[in-house]
Structure 1
Amino acid sequence: METKKPDFVYVTYIATTPEKLWQALMDTDMMAQWWVNPKAGCARVNVSDWKPGSLWEHRRADGSDIVDIAGKVIEAIAPKRLVYSWARPDEVSDVTKHSQVSFDIDQYTDKLVKLTVTHDDLAKDPSMLSGVSGGWPTVLSNLKTFLETGQALPHTVAAHA
């Protein structure tokens, strides 16, 4: 049996605790500081009650509340693992168009946390694969910088990375 390989995997090590990393993934005030679209320069927030089966929305944090991506929460085990589906807002009801994002948080050393972000099922949408392959590294670098220094990279730096 052939094992399916993920479409995108990003691993980083962050000087923080699993609990602080989890909070940064859940708290919209924190998220608005580090989740920056690398092309638009506009911060985004993920909004949900984070219960399995609930809807989540990836909204612009510029006051417009425009939803760019949406999906359903699949798994949320604080502070270890978060999994949700990922789709364009007009395709949320069509599960055949969904990809899936997993955040796995592991204590690596007493001062480092290993974060592994896996984004699967992107082959069905090459433009989404291209977008997340360019977006995740900048967003996750911002997350790391934010948790380690208290400030994310300036939006203008992220927009030109």
Structure 2
Amino acid sequence: MKPEKISYVYVTYIRSTPEKVFEAITRPEIARRYWGHENVSDWKPGSPWQHVRASDERPVELVGQVVEIAPPTRLVITWAGASQAADPEAYSRVAFDIVPYEDMVRLTVTHDELTAGSGMAKGIQQGWPIVLSSLKSLLETGEGIDVFAKPKAA
């Protein structure tokens, strides 16, 4: 029996343009400013994609493939931990949908095909909200937030 697959959907509204949001996701030098990582690819369907920590060591943390790309409104990639790259069952999928919404955009991130209870499912459940908050902050104020911050003890 195959493990149960789950999905998460995150929606945020950003005072920006679809073009700027799309660039922030796909351009390494912008992603580094709000994510602490660079998304590296040539962004063509079927091309590899890597999520690289923005440091001198530049270790690859996540890998995948570009499934679909329609700038500036849609990007779909596969997603797996670099240590699990050889396991086809380890891959999940992320879709970024960017829709103009009056003087802003609605960004919907759908992360699906996740194995229920996996470390990846737990990690993205905590990670996406802070990453998307940082993206919003960067595009609206020019400064991202610390995505590596930890809650303060009460």
Q: TM-score, normalised by structure 1?
A: 0.86
Name the SS for the 1:90 alignment partner: helix
1:145 aligns with 2:120: no
Q: Give the match for residue 27 of structure 1.
A: 27
Aligned ranges for residues 6-155 of structure 1 at < 5 Å? 7-35=7-35, 43-109=36-102, 111-123=103-115, 126-153=118-145, 155=146
- Give the direction of change, closer, same or farther, for the CA distance of 1:64–1:78 in structure 2 (3 Å limit): same
* CA–CA separation in structure 2 for the residues paired with 1:23 and 1:160: 28
* CA–CA separation in structure 2 for the residues paired with 1:122 and 1:47: 22
Q: Give the match for residue 38 of structure 1.
A: none
Q: Runs of 4+ in structure 1 displaced over 6 angstroms?
A: none
Unaligned runs of 5+ in 1: 36-42
**Matched AA of 1:140:** L
Instruction: Give the aligned CA root-mean-square deviation in angstroms.
Output: 1.8
Q: CA deviation at 1:114?
A: 0.2
* CA–CA separation in structure 1 for the residues paired with 2:113 and 2:60: 21
Stretch moving more, 121-130 or 57-66? 121-130
C-alpha contact 2:6 2:115 (8 A) present in aligned 1: no
Q: CA deviation at 1:125?
A: 5.7
Q: Give the % identical residues.
A: 46
Give the aligned length. Answer: 148
Q: CA deviation at 1:6?
A: 5.3
Equivalent position to 1:160, from 145, 150, 153: 150
Q: CA deviation at 1:89?
A: 1.5
* CA–CA separation in structure 1 for the residues paired with 2:21 and 2:6: 23
C-alpha contact 2:6 2:116 (8 A) present in aligned 1: no
Name the SS for the 1:159 alignment partner: coil
